[in-house]
A and B are shown apart, each in its own frame.
Chain A
Amino acid sequence: MAARAHRPTSNFKDMKKFVLTIAVLLGAASALSAKLNVVATLPDYGALAQEVGGELVKVTVLAKGTEDPHFVDARPGFIRVLNQADLLVEGGAELEVGWLPPLLQSARNAKLLADAPGHLALARSVRLLDVPSGPIDRSQGDVHPAGNPHFNLDPANGASLAAAIAGALAKLDPANQSVYERNLQSFKQRLEAKLAEWRKAMEPFRGTKVLTYHKSFDYFLERFGLVLVGTLEPKPGIEPSPTYINGLIPRAKEAGVKLVLIEPNRPRKTPTYVAEAVGAKLVILPVLVGGAEKAGDYLSLFDYDVARITEALKSAQ
């Protein structure tokens, strides 16, 4: 009797121990699997964060690679995503100015305030092109006072952008600093090798004259020595008008333009017309990771873009 009376208590104790152990284990597991929550405004920044953060981060990207990054909707779902973020990676050169501020305002996440370590503005780690030197106003169209914000399209910027992200991650998670550094080095090595490859592929076409739709490609052109003759937009963000296009065509012809580059999301009609009139090749070139099916990560975006341009120019020769 005594033994039987004793058993339930012992069982109960075992049970308690068991439950406690499970709870501790679960707690430990969740602590271990607690990845850093990284939110990137553009897929390129997200891809770089993934390269550097590897298994230690969970990356969420706001803009889609096929979208016009100036005009992303401030979807309410993003508020909750930002609310839970440990690190926000944004361009910081006003590309996201039309949709990020209200999201951040509603996200009520102190980690992402402008001066917090959880808010990384990448424009500070690279040199921006087209910084206006004179007075600017809105009659000039959508001119960004900080400079051209499409700096993600210079593959050589990849190393410093990744380094900036690695630095931010290490600051938030010092215990894993060595992992971030290792990932960064590995990414840099792969990038170096690829850069040499791309440079070699593009070398024969140095000096090729091009037209672009918007000033999205300037960094890419500069990296590979292509020459921008003009844009289909008369002013940044202003839709092309027939008068302007009719003036642009002879100018482009005279300059010997060989390529018309447009982003995948642009209307095709005007660019097709201009390319035909000028006798140039129209190439639809993704400007963001995910902008084409085969441009799924940072390195393959440039693989894809370089391949499209070299193919087009080779076939034109």
Chain B
Amino acid sequence: MEEQVCLDGRRSFPFLKSLSFQAAAGANTNTVDLAARERERTMKSKLILGWTSAFCLSCMSARLVQAQESSDVEQIRKQLKEATDAFQKASEEYRRTIDALHKRLEQMQPKTAAPPASAPAPALAVAPTNPPPAEAAAPWSPTQPIRLVGGQQNYLNISFDALFAAGSSTADDVEALQLGGHDPKQRGFTVQNLELTLDGKVDPYFRGQANVVLQIDPDGETAVEAEEAYFETVALPWNLQVKGGQYFSEFGRLNPTHPHTWDFVDLPLVNGRFLGEDGLRNPGARVSWLVPTPFYSELLLGVQNSQGETAHSFRSDHDGDLFFGRPALDMQVKNMGDLLYVPRYTFSFNPGAEHTVLAGISGAFGPNASGPDQATQIYGADLFYKWKARRQSKGFPFVTWQTEGMYRRYEAGAFPGDINNPALPAEVLRDWGIYSQVSYGFRPGWVASFRGDYVTGEQGALRPDPERDTRWRLSPALTYFPTEFSKIRLQYNYDNREDGGQDHSVWLQFEFLLGAHAAHKF
């Protein structure tokens, strides 16, 4: 409040304080509503500054004309034009300042009226309107973040997404039929995924995100998963970006995404078999480089732990169950070779204004738990194509085609066998699988989709092995999005398992989303 205002509107320098504006300052400190006054005063004085300068400028230009009356007319004209331009420029700038100040004042008024506590509120003409509800002063955005602390502050965006399913299946073992951890795995109702997402800017250098997932399993037990929690750099040089924490491995297209963004109720078979029911995710770090090509292309390398139940084809202990007929060795990271390495290259191009292609190849390399020196390699290729009408409304109509193929090479260790289980030799198990899906958004809010799944494995020593035997599935689905924040989906699955026969399932899915709606990545 010690701050003083000069007559010409500029803030006085300290050494000027004592010279000439003592009186004004004195008067100022006597009033109670200093803040409001000061603001008004600044604004007024800026106005004065504006007009005085404008006046001075015009005087100057006039004087210039007089002085050189006798000399070259051309030159005078030129100078006149310059001066007029300068005047216009200056007055425009002041106008802008005035407008901005007006705006600021408007914004501040409800707030200045709010803390009346000790203010006798004399002259200043801030009409004490009805105290507006808190939301009116700082409305939270329906399309973007919830602001925890009102106004322009935005420290943390929160959203809550709930995904439910109901339906039935002819399979006796629905839990084995459905490979995804968040798939409906029982007849009747399933709470697939209750996901709390928090994200925001950490500081000028990082952004952070956390996804905490609640799930109610068929036994009615509620499980909590720290699905993801990672930081990401905002602007490193050389087109680099580093991510670290607990995160979904960037392998293929579907693995790094959350179930509520999928086009179907359940996880593709190949993802379930190779990357696990909850997807491939673990603590680690990855660096990515945006390659300076004329088109988009990005090179990523992730390093993560290779143990734990979310490292399915690697050193997961599979809850103590046998995997490919072999028990899991209990191991920890001893050296760099015990980590999981996930490289990926992805690129995109547009063969025409309405078409986009995004493709990538990925790898996941790490040790597995079947023996001390056994390793797994998974290779993947993915392709996504989208057509979107030139005259789209609400993003419709569109067609997307998404396909992922994977090949897994699993070095299985020798198992001497025990009372209940046969002995197995050391061998290499080769598997591959693919899914391909098409979606057609035929009118605003309505999407028809079709997916085909196929997985198979080369015959190993253990047979039959439901984890590796051939199976395929066909799934048509119809989805209705009332808005971007809710959806209803009906899906039918025709399943064919080499050692399980044929099954039919129908699932109805419902989703709602509260709070921040993370914008869609492509």
Contacts and interface: CB of A to CB of B under 8 A. Distances in A.
Contacts of B144: 94, 97
A109 B241 CA distance: 11
A68 B350 CA distance: 19
Contacts of A77: 295-296, 348-350, 356
Contacts of A238: 483
Given A76-B296, A266-B393, A134 B136 contact: yes
A71 interface: yes
Interface residues of B, number: 55
Contacts of A67: 390-392
Interface in A100-148: 100-102, 105-110, 113, 132-138, 140-145
A75 interface: yes
Given A75-B522, A110-B235, A238-B483, A267 B142 contact: no
A265 B136 contact: no
Contacts of A145: 139-142
B88 to A, nearest CB: 9
A80 interface: yes
Interface SS of A by simple majority: loop
A161 to B, nearest CB: 13
A239 B350 contact: no
Contact of A100 (B96, B133, B236, B519): B519
B239 A265 contact: no
Contacts, number: 140
Contact of B393 (A78, A142, A144, A267): A267
A136 B239 contact: no
Nearest to B147: A145
Contacts of B518: 102
Given A108-B239, A267-B444, A97 B519 contact: yes
A137 B353 contact: no
Nearest to A99: B519
Contacts of A138: 142, 483, 485
B356 A108 contact: no
Interface string B205-229: 0010000000000000000000000
A140 B297 CA distance: 40
Contact of A264 (B348, B391, B394, B485): B391
Contacts of B502: none
A29 to B, nearest CB: 20
B256 to A, nearest CB: 13
B240 interface: yes
A66 interface: yes
Contacts of B520: 74, 98-99, 102
Contacts of B522: 73-76
Interface of B: 89, 92, 96, 132-133, 135-136, 139-144, 207, 232-236, 239-241, 290, 293-297, 346, 348-350, 353, 356, 358, 386, 388, 390-395, 443-445, 483-485, 517-522
Given A68-B394, A77-B350, 6 more contacts: A73-B522, A76-B296, A77-B356, A79-B290, A106-B290, A108-B241
